[in-house]
């Protein structure tokens, strides 16, 4: 993996082989090599365990990171004095970027936006299908066609959809739901009323969100203050027959309380993420007709992953032409981001 050294910036790739193949598909790699000098990194190298790679760090201007990248520690930063930017072709940068990077003036950007898009699409699809209780009906249909009564189910018209978190994904979902005949509520301690109105949503607190929603979708990041945030009390505020969608993180919801509510049949659930993940094979959630579980596929999968590479290479192109990064992460935001 190399290119002619005809560019001012030298880029080192720091991600595992599987990510490299999925993120830097040939068309993205061609754009990358047309923009910068890409250091030849051998197969299997995760950039820090290789002496050749360590020896090259002093020349590196940009680290293009991805899944499997080891933490960019103060020692790595020390060994890369020319480093201007860490462009992360994956979601959260928290696990890989040491705070010292910001202190040294290294710009950091994340492709979380590109990973957010498919989650928003997945959620909108889930909201539409949940409106008709299509997941529950499909399961009942498999068990006994005669007992399946679609007219006994609520429809989507005028349904109230609650979004927990005006995160990137929460906002994208709200923007997309504007075109439906739905009423959207949103809860987020960082959101103002006018920002909510701009999203076409009504700003409410968590109790009102859970008490008024027919369909409630979780989009908050997993932080100390959101771990177990959706507890037995909040779940208990959901109306009978409502649908809970979680594409965020399993640990935001109290797992035992969720299981109780689902096993009782009082609520339906669409769960792309769970706690634990994956679920144990004997989890009742896997067999309930009112629960639809997917194995963490709402984010980028298959050909969608190249979008993250495209975003990172676009950031590199902006860097080379002196434009500000479009998806820069500021250290001040880190505490509230996924
Ligand atoms: N299922 C998947 O494949 C998949 C893929 C990508 C992201 N995710 C998850 O989706 C969720 C949203 O991701 P994102 O990138 O949009 O997040 P994000 O980084 O944009 O979220 C940060 C925002 O969340 C909001 N927030 C912070 N604390 C909150 C709180 N206590 N209550 C409500 N809102 C709060 C704030 O608006 C903050 O700016 C995360 O949990 C993330 O891990 C899942």
CB 337 near ligand 1, within 6 Å: yes
The verdict on 73 and 210 lying in the same domain is: no
The verdict on 120 and 202 lying in the same domain is: yes
The verdict on 67 and 186 lying in the same domain is: no
Is 5 a domain residue?
no
Is 4 a domain residue?
no
Q: What is the CATH number of the domain that holds 256?
A: 3.40.50.720
Q: Which domain holds residue 174?
A: 115-293
The verdict on 77 and 195 lying in the same domain is: no
Rounded to 5 degrees, what are φ and ψ at 308?
-70, -40
User: Measuring from atom 4 of ligand 1, which residue has the nearest CA?
Assistant: 299
Residue 68 has a pLDDT of: 87
* pLDDT per position as a tens digit, 142-191: 988 888 888 888 889 999 999 999 999 999 999 999 999 999 999 999 99
Q: How many CA atoms lie within 13 A of 61 on its CB side?
A: 12
The model's pTM is 0.95
Residue 296 is among the residues annotated as catalytic for this protein? yes
Using the mean position of ligand 1's atoms as its centre, give its distance from the Cα of residue 227 in Å.
12
Residue 136 has a pLDDT of: 94
> Is the pLDDT reported for residue 2 higher than 80?
no
The verdict on 168 and 232 lying in the same domain is: yes
Is 227 a domain residue?
yes
User: Measuring from atom 11 of ligand 1, which residue has the nearest CA?
Assistant: 248
Using the mean position of ligand 1's atoms as its centre, give its distance from the Cα of residue 336 in Å.
8
Is 144 a domain residue?
yes
Total count of domains within the chain: 2
Which is the closest atom of ligand 1 to the Cα of 169?
Answer: 16
The verdict on 153 and 280 lying in the same domain is: yes
CB 188 near ligand 1, within 6 Å: yes
The verdict on 268 and 121 lying in the same domain is: yes
């Amino acid at each position: 993996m190399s290119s002619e050294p005809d560019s001012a910036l030298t880029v080192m790739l720091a991600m595992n082989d599987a990510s490299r193949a999925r993120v830097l598909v040939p068309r993205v790699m061609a754009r990358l090599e047309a923009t910068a000098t890409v250091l030849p990194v051998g197969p299997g190298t995760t950039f820090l365990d290789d002496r050749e790679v360590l020896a090259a760090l002093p020349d590196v201007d940009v680290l293009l990171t991805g899944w499997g990248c080891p933490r960019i520690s103060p020692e790595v930063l020390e060994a890369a004095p020319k480093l201007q930017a860490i462009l992360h072709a994956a979601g959260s940068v928290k696990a890989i970027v040491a705070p010292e990077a910001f202190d040294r003036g290294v710009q950091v950007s994340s492709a979380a936006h590109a990973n957010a898009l498919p989650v928003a699409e997945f959620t909108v699809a889930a909201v539409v299908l949940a409106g008709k209780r299509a997941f529950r009906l499909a399961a009942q249909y498999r068990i006994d066609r005669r007992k399946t009564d679609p007219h006994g189910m609520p429809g989507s018209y005028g349904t109230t959809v609650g979004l927990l978190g005006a995160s990137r994904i929460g906002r994208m979902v709200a923007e997309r739901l504007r075109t439906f005949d739905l009423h959207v509520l949103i809860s987020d301690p960082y959101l103002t009323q006018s920002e909510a109105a701009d999203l076409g949503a009504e700003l409410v607190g968590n109790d009102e969100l859970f008490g008024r929603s027919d369909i409630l979708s979780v989009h908050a990041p997993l932080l100390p203050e959101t771990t177990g945030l959706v507890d037995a009390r909040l779940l208990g505020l959901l109306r009978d027959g409502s649908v809970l969608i979680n594409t965020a993180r399993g640990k935001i919801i109290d797992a035992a309380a969720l299981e109780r509510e689902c096993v009782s049949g009082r609520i339906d659930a669409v769960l792309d993420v769970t706690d634990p993940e994956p679920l144990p094979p004997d989890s009742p959630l896997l067999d309930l007709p009112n629960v639809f579980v997917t194995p963490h596929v709402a984010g980028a999968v298959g050909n969608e992953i190249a979008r993250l590479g495209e975003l990172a290479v676009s950031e590199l192109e902006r860097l080379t032409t002196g434009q500000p990064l479009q998806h820069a992460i500021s250290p001040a935001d880190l505490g509230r981001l996924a």
